[in-house]
Chains A and B, each alone.
Chain A
């Protein structure tokens, strides 16, 4: 089936949420500035008109209260979606996130489930400094009990959102601001893709090979899928053929696709917009080392150095992994 219609990532996400809300009265959305504003990152544009303030709820700036309330409502069997405006604000409500939302299923011996979605914006590239630019994939994926989703295209975003809302477990759905297709923060061209009108799900734990290649495996997610694809296009001109793997979900993590690819290419580059130490890059490299050490000829990591994200453009550019950094890393492993 060919689809003519292209959507931005934010439109795709909103379409999935709207469909789920229409089909299931138990689904509702809570967050700051999600009603009249439609979400600072356009995450709820147009939903208020259809569903009203009862189901598209503006909440006080009290993350502990409303994220915790989402946990409570979910434990009653409702399906709340709660938005944390920027992931950087998790700190004020972390207990509700990682001690309640993430652990209640386990501590109850499986007798309680928490079918909620925590949506949140991640990422830098527009000089908003250290409290508004982090990605923090690793923080959420590190703490057991939450599924963690990071779409890179509109197509994936819609299918993953359908799945997230239907999932019986808490899902953290992290969208990169630079990919949403916002008027005031232009996206690269990649995330805007054809999106079928019908609903569809993309299962968690299946990485997507966004480009096939024989010479190096580049593993990444979110915004950096697009930077890796740009790098791969440049490298192709030099005769280096990159495979680009988009993880799409961190929990569950599709280690198999990565290992298979490394078995083919022998060379691994992991790219992450999150901090380098104790995070995703280390996780991927060690997973491959554990399972396929023999295949592994060379490894490089490209990630945010372990510094808070600086404000000045020159400084942010210095620390933010760019396509050129990915190219250099791929050349290094050849």
Chain B
């Protein structure tokens, strides 16, 4: 878990550097080597690793617009994910999806940039597992701001009434862009919403990967054993702005500093130290993680850009041919139609 946490954190630091290239001194979102918006998840790693370390490749994860830490914890191909973020031909989506829309079917990972809209497909993956009698589970990640969305609430009911093997993981970083939680809901923790659907709800009140791991053991286990869904909310912190370029003028300095002070990676390191892992071993883990990230970024930047013509490919799996190209396969005379 520590390795994935430091990989995710360093990955985002490196992405941030690359992203800002060409965007300074004046920030222009359409300049530089990484296109589009970029949402970083620094501070939220505990929620990613604590849950995903219970998952297998055949378990399904749907992630929202802030996906990198979850993708790394789920084992998404780091090189191809990076190539996708740089908009390259060998990226996961051939440069068509980008950072908010990462798909790696090998490890059953998908994303959507529309709030809470990964929840219904996760319920669908749970439904498929149940119908096929497998023991795979589905995990939908969403932010605390997303829990007011119909797609989430309807999925809770759907998953509950069908006892589906789904875990809804709410990463509670207190902010939905500029909107603090207390201004948009009277419900203190997202896990409380589970009550209304007669399903399990658990809240982890600190961004402690070990505590998340323990809570997730129960939630994922419940799903795998056929005992239905859970809402697991986890207190995390948003160290950065909502997206790169967000001036955060709505946020007090104290709030930002508090987020910086509560570092889940430091907490994890302390835990490891308590359990006899020495600093040298951790330094080695960090070095390996950094090397892996640097390699992925170097590899991605070296990848070819997509050929413009490929913009027209992949709209369909089975592209329709011209309607007039195909002759009907039956003969009217033989069917007893004309000429009888």
Interface residues on B, range: 35 or more
Binary flags per residue of B16-32, CB closer than 8 Å to A gives 1, else 0:
00000000001111100
Name A's interface SS.
Answer: loop
Question: B149 near A61 (CB under 8 angstroms)?
Answer: yes
User: Cβ of B87: which chain A residues have Cβ within 8 Å of it?
Assistant: 127, 311-315
Q: Which A residues, 165 to 203, have Cβ-Cβ distances below 8 Å to chain B?
A: 183-186
Q: Are B315 and A308 in contact (CB under 8 A)?
A: yes
With A89-B114, A127-B30, A129-B97 already in contact, the answer to whether A319 and B250 are too (CB < 8 A) is: no
- Asked if residues B30 and A305 are in contact (CB atoms below 8 Å), the reply is no
- Give the CA-CA distance A35 to B176 in the complex, in Å: 13
Complex contact B245–A184 (CB within 8 A) = yes
User: Is A6 interfacial (CB 8 A cutoff)?
Assistant: no
- Is there a chain B Cβ closer than 8 Å to A266's Cβ? no
Cβ 8 A contact of A37, one of B30, B115, B178: B178
Chain B CB within 8 A of A3 CB: no
Residues of chain A within 8 A (CB-CB) of B93 are: 311
For window 140-193 of B, CB contacts with A under 8 Å fall at 145-146, 148-151, 176-179, 183-185
Chain A, range 92-130, C-beta contacts under 8 Å to B:
92, 125-130
Contact A315 B101 (CB under 8 A): no
Q: Which residue of B lies closest to A91 (CB)?
A: B114
Q: Contact: A313 with B35, CB < 8 Å?
A: yes
A310 located at the interface, meaning its Cβ lies under 8 Å from any Cβ of chain B in the complex:
yes
| Chain B residues within 8 Å of A308, by CB | 96, 315
Question: B308: which of A36, A62, A89, A317 is its contact (CB, 8 Å)?
Answer: A317
B134 contacts the other chain (CB 8 A) = no
Q: Which residues of A contact B203 (CB under 8 A)?
A: none
What are the interface flags for A30-53 relative to B under an 8 Å C-beta threshold, 1 for contact and 0 otherwise? Answer: 001101110010000000000000
A299 interface residue (CB < 8 Å to B)? no
Q: For the complex, is A156 an interface residue (Cβ under 8 Å from B)?
A: no
Residue pair B150, A92 in contact (C-beta under 8 Å): yes
Task: Tell me the bound Cα distance from A46 to B312 in angstroms.
Answer: 43
Question: Which chain A residues (289-321) contact chain B, with CB distance < 8 Å?
Answer: 305-308, 310-319
Residues from chain A with a CB closer than 8 A to the CB of B245 are 184
Identify which of residues 117-168 in chain A touch chain B, using a CB-to-CB cut-off of 8 Å.
Answer: 125-132
Q: Are the CB atoms of B36 and A314 closer together than 8 Å? A: no
B292 at the interface (CB under 8 A from A): no
Q: Contact between B96 and A310 (Cβ–Cβ < 8 Å)?
A: yes
The reply to whether B100 and A129 contact each other, CB–CB distance below 8 Å, is yes
**Closest chain B residue, CB of each to CB of A133:** B36
A184 interface neighbour in B29, B98, B151, B250, Cβ under 8 Å: B29
* Contact indicator B148/A315 (Cβ below 8 Å): no
- Known contacts A312-B87, A319-B311: does B177 contact A62 (CB below 8 Å)? no
Question: Is B185's CB under 8 angstroms from A60's CB?
Answer: yes
- Additional A-B contact list (10), CB under 8 Å, known A61-B116, A307-B315: A33-B179, A36-B178, A36-B179, A58-B178, A132-B37, A185-B28, A185-B29, A312-B95, A314-B307, A314-B308
Q: Which A residues fall within an 8 A CB radius of B?
A: 32-33, 35-37, 40, 58-62, 64-65, 88-89, 91-92, 125-132, 183-186, 305-308, 310-319
Q: List 18 A-B contacts (CB under 8 A).
A: A36-B249, A58-B178, A61-B176, A88-B114, A128-B98, A129-B36, A129-B97, A129-B98, A131-B100, A132-B36, A132-B37, A184-B28, A307-B315, A310-B95, A311-B97, A312-B95, A315-B95, A315-B306
Question: Could you list which residues of chain B lie within 8 angstroms of chain A, going by C-beta atoms?
Answer: 26-30, 35-37, 87-88, 93, 95-98, 100-101, 112-117, 145-146, 148-151, 176-179, 183-185, 245, 249-250, 305-312, 315
Q: Please list the 9 inter-chain residue pairs (A to B) with the smallest Cβ-Cβ separation, ordered nearest first.
A: A127-B35, A312-B87, A311-B98, A312-B95, A36-B250, A60-B148, A37-B178, A126-B30, A318-B308
